[in-house]
Structure 1
């Protein structure tokens, strides 16, 4: 069957519409007119024999047929882009568009104020960050790399551990003045208000563990507040609502300023891995390596 260049061109335009969310943004990205984008999509729909997009005056969305078609062709587009990158020698050049899936804790508490500095290092790079609890389908979503905590169950993605982050237990001076300071982890079970954090995978609260070398103590805490937002948890802890377990990298500035107090420094050997996940076994492009290295520096 002869190669149909118009079909590939139409698919590329469709991808630009899906990623941009509108015909206008797709036109800007491709350097053509909005009417040119519309004609290309219409020709593709006629070629396939199915309506791929639902169009309104305010939005554009994939139809069911369009979603199935796009999910099938997206990996091929990524492979073509990888081949073009390699052919142009860009495996060692940080440029292009980088789409990243970021864990909310990293996005809310570690990266704020740092993304601009990253972009300053690489003027030819643009960054598209997606923040959500679930990692989703990296291939279908066009994600280059995902940065998540812990190991994913039954994942076929390629994983690289970036760093192990220390977990500590903290409280605000106002809470300790009101409720008293617990001397040991087991004291938390005796009436202290603890702020639970929801595991995004199991949807259940994380267990409260305390590590001292190889010794692990699990404490059944009493909590009336369960949160799935790390920023809110830190804010409530700072406000004196209760005791929380957080990463040292998140709390260290607040501890230094006296806004938070670490409660059990002798029981602070718990570590939690921060991983990078890739949808392909191919050697990561320079833009991916640059971002991952920047994350490691930020959390350290």
Structure 2
């Protein structure tokens, strides 16, 4: 197929629709009517030779072919914008809107408190920070980057390891006064209440594990309270409801301030990884590069 310069304008409309989530909102953002946006997408589908969107009366979604096409062209579109900004002689290459998908633990306790610093660094950039239980479809949902704990699942996305944080076992001083302090991981199996946190991918509690050198002790923790987010886990632990496993990334200050007691410190060598995900391409936009560099600083 010979190059058609009108493809660029159609791809720009496609990007706006994916980011906005509807033809109407994309039109508002671009100063176009909804029918004009719809016609532009239809022309792009005709030129490329695929159906990009599934359309219903209430919603639109990318087809499988449309998703693959968008994943391939979106980084190039961002790079064209970056090149145009650089050619204009401005240093503000990091600009526009950045949409970030993050889990609650990192979003609430690490990222959100430092976003003011990031925005001050790049005054022409705006950020939409979305906290979600699961990453979902980064492309179909219009996100530029995602930050998630846990090992990566098979995906077409590029995954970058940011850090590995230790898993700490903690309880309140009040809980320890009432139930005593365990001396070995196996002591948790009897006479103690553990605060469990639900794994969103399975619906079951996360398994506990204790590591000391090469010795590993798995534990099926039990307790009468299960939560589904870190805020509730922390609240229950601080309130004396039981023993909890917390990530050192956000729990180190609680330990140093003696708000919680670190238990089984000799068995705290298990780590949990934090990954950044973005579209798999060597052409990463300036705003995504800047954000990944900033998160890397937070993780250091």
* Range class of TM-score, shorter chain: 0.7 to 0.9
> How many angstroms does 1:107 deviate by?
1.2
Q: Distance in 1 between matches of 2:113 and 2:295?
A: 13
Is 79-88 or 236-245 further displaced after alignment? 79-88
> Residues 20 and 259 of structure 1: is their aligned pair in 2 closer, same or farther, counting only changes over 3 Å?
same
1:17-96 aligned within 5 A? 17-21=17-21, 26=26, 29-30=29-30, 32=31, 36-44=32-40, 61-62=59-60, 71=67, 74-75=70-71, 77-85=73-81, 87-88=83-84, 93-96=93-96
CA spacing shift, 1:69–1:15, aligned 2, 3 Å: farther
CA distance in 1, matches of 2:26, 2:281: 29
1:121 Cα offset (Å): 1.1
Taking the aligned partners of 1:286 and 1:79, their CA distance within structure 2 comes to 10
Q: What's the CA shift for 1:169?
A: 0.4
Deviates more, 1:188-197 or 1:68-77: 68-77
Give the 3 Å change call, closer, same or farther, for CA 284–18 of structure 1 in structure 2: closer
For residue 52 of structure 1, report the CA deviation from its aligned partner: 7.0
- Aligned match of 2:146: 146
Cα deviation, residue 116, structure 1: 1.8
Q: Deviations over 1:140-168 (max 9, x none)?
A: 33332221222223233222211111110
Contact in 2 for aligned 1:104/1:133 (Cα 8 Å)? yes
Partner of 2:171: 171
Distance 2:67 2:155 in 1: 18
Tell me the TM-score normalised to structure 2 length.
Answer: 0.81
Could you tell me whether the CA contact under 8 Å between 1:13 and 1:40 is conserved in 2? no
The question of 1:268 aligning with 2:268 is answered: yes
Aligned residue in 1 for 2:227: 227
Cα distance in 2 for partners of 1:45, 1:220 equals 52
Following superposition, the deviation at residue 131 of structure 1 comes to 2.4
Calculate the aligned-residue CA RMSD, in Å: 3.1
TM-score (normalised: structure 1):
0.81
Q: CA deviation at 1:126?
A: 1.6
Distance in 2 (CA, whole Å) between partners of 1:85 and 1:148 is 28
The equivalent residue for 1:131 is 131
Are 2:100 and 2:146, in contact at CA under 8 Å, matched by a contact in 1? yes
| CA positional deviation for 1:16 | 2.9
SS in structure 1 of the partner of residue 113 of structure 2:
coil
Structure 1: 5+ residue stretches without partners? none
Does the 8 Å CA contact 1:166/1:248 hold for their aligned counterparts? yes
Aligned length: 290
Please list the CA deviations of residues 176-200 of structure 1 after superposition, one character each: whole Å capped at 9, or x if unmatched. Answer: 2222222222211112110112223
Q: Which moved more, 1:241-250 or 1:85-94?
A: 85-94
Distance 1:158 1:4, change over 3 A: closer
The alpha-carbon deviation at position 210 of structure 1 amounts to 1.0
Alpha-carbon contact 1:210-1:217 (below 8 Å) kept = yes
Q: Distance in 1 between matches of 2:99 and 2:41?
A: 27
